Structure 1
């Protein structure tokens, strides 16, 4: 485990990128010629199937190909890679997207890709015999999460604030970076007091037993889209058709996952992971429940970003008026339901997962 208490209140400082840094980044689009690039570089998640990977396997990406360049465990790192041109898109918690825009980084959120609902959520778990029952009980305790300055820390801060803790008291709650695959073990070995668990890792831990939820993000805020894929303004200008195909494909994959029988979705994901040959364990995929994107086809309404504009301004991490919704997102590339192919129907000639 890595302790980072010195950065406890420096929310998302790793996203302190400038427009100069982005403009100096390398980009596949720069050498793509008049037609634009048809290859999208991206980072994946070990043992999981991202929406773009699902979209490609369903044939929704048409002639656009995905090029996997490695895995990430951090949304902020993923969108930083996209902003600097190391990848062509990246996804993160919407608060990180707001912070990125606040640093004058020319990126746009183009589609929601994950959220929180009754099926898919992040829970903050303690051992069954833990004395921790309330926000105030967290003073002096360790909370393990995948990264700082992102979704997990933001939800923790909201919980502490609603629990009546002062800023000074909140400082005494210690978030720690723990790799997701080790978080459950760290809790059971009492190396941490609270474990942030989501998705298949959460459901696997619950099936084992011996833990209970302190709170969940769904319990705090209800159903909401929590994160967006971003692309740079330069990429969108140079590759509008590729961006349209990508965003629309992801939107269709969201709807396919909603309308397809659960067992069929898991079977498809399992085959995708097996085909890509990265020596990953497919067993946890049986715990997958939902991508939990709230809006149809992942369309962004603005409210899922405005929440974090207001929250970051209240915390003093950005100035009031520093970021506006117009700076943050566009639905212009999402054509699902606008006279094109039906949202969830597979393309007849499906491709293999090309990551």
Structure 2
């Protein structure tokens, strides 16, 4: 993923440029001929977004006159400017990235839940892993060690620090290294880092090589942590509230369906990722509740403030629907 700060700097330029466009405004998401609304959503090709792919396949969006197109980005930092410019009507991002954006007064707002922790230690879709032969036995032992996260100063290192803190270690001495999720299993195996925070499918890849989960950092942050959400621009909410409402309805139906049909989730994952069927079968799936957990998001704000992630105060009332 790209660094969030870089992405938001680009976002400022893009939103100004979008304001100067002509009468054809892609942010409205309308076909212009009375037909279904053309809606493009920026997503990340990971397990987390399976519900929206499944919802498209099941017709939950077309039933609400939405012609859905899904485009992949490297992460929230790349998707935020796309949403602001109208390239995407909606986007998917981890909650901390949007908190960083909101603290900088970037005009985005959450519209639907995205993905949540299972709440089960050792049985979550993400965790802190080490090699099978590593002397590290718990998060406490990460003090002074190199730990891989996909993006520095974001939800990864914040949640890892909490795992270390809860285990009785000193989180201030952990050395974080930025490595993409797909590259983490190899980096861990080669000894480039002592531990890594991974999510599926990288978690399954590490386990397949004998790696061990020493802590479930999402679970350590808060029970049933809301990890990521779908969002849009405040401009779209003001200009086309009906479209936003229809998208939210379709998204809620998609989340509920995915949460109760794990076999279909595993099948749809193979349609938008390069994950082989054997790995998909071994994945630990997250939870997809229809509603976000505000208490858990308030905890993320507290840890983000503690770690100095935000340039200003985070106002959850402005960020959340």
CA–CA distance in 2 between the matches of 1:15 and 1:290?
29
| Higher helix proportion | 2
SS at match of 1:55: helix
3-state SS of paired residue (2:303)? helix
In the alignment, the residues of structure 2 paired with residue 224 and residue 127 of structure 1 have an alpha-carbon distance, to the nearest angstrom, of 26
C-alpha distance in 1 between matches for 2:303 and 2:41 = 29
Which residue pairs with 1:245 in the alignment?
Answer: 246
* 97-106 or 157-166: bigger deviation: 157-166
Q: Which residue of 1 aligns with 2:26?
A: 28
* CA deviation map 1:46-95 (0-9, x unaligned): 465532222111100023123344442x3333334323444222222212
1:126/1:269 Cα in 2 relative to 1: closer, same or farther (>3 Å)?
A: closer
Trace 1:290-301 onto structure 2 (pairs within 5 A).
Answer: 290-293=285-288, 295=289, 297=290, 299-301=291-293
Residues 1:329 and 2:295 are matched in the alignment: no
Give the match for residue 211 of structure 2. Answer: 211
Partner-residue secondary structure (3-state), 1:159? helix
Task: State the secondary structure of the residue aligned to 2:292.
Answer: coil
Q: For residue 229 of structure 1, what is the aligned residue in structure 2?
A: 230
Structure 2 equivalent of residue 83 of structure 1:
84
CA distance in 2, matches of 1:109, 1:324: 12
Q: Using the TM superposition, give the Cα deviation of residue 134 of structure 1 relative to its aligned residue in structure 2, in angstroms.
A: 4.2
Which residue in 1 is equivalent to 2:263? 263
Instruction: Classify 1:106/1:219 alpha carbon distance in 2 versus 1 (closer, same or farther; 3 Å).
Output: closer
In the TM superposition, 1:44-55 aligns within 5 A as 44-46=43-45, 48=47, 50-55=50-55
SS in 2 for 1:254: helix
- CA distance, structure 2, for counterparts of residue 219 and residue 302 of structure 1: 15
Cross-structure match for 2:132: 128
**Matched residue count:** 306
Query: Does the CA-based 8 Å contact 1:204-1:287 persist in structure 2?
Result: no
Q: Is the 8 A contact 1:96 1:149 kept in 2?
A: no
Q: Is 1:13 the equivalent of 2:5?
A: yes
- Call closer, same or farther: CA 1:25–1:304 in 2, change over 3 Å: farther
User: Using the alignment, how far apart are the partners of 2:179 and 2:308 within structure 1?
Assistant: 27
Cα separation, 2, equivalents of 1:60 and 1:223: 26
Matched, 1:43 2:42: yes
SS in 1 for 2:201: helix
Decide whether aligned partners of structure 1 residues 137 and 71 sit closer, same or farther in structure 2, where only a CA change above 3 A counts: same
Unaligned runs of 5+ residues in structure 2 are 19-24
TM-score normalised over the length of structure 2:
0.81
Structure 1, unmatched stretches of 5+, are 5-10, 331-355
Query: Is the 2:4–2:76 Cα contact (8 Å) retained in structure 1?
Result: no
Shift of residue 312 of structure 1? 2.7
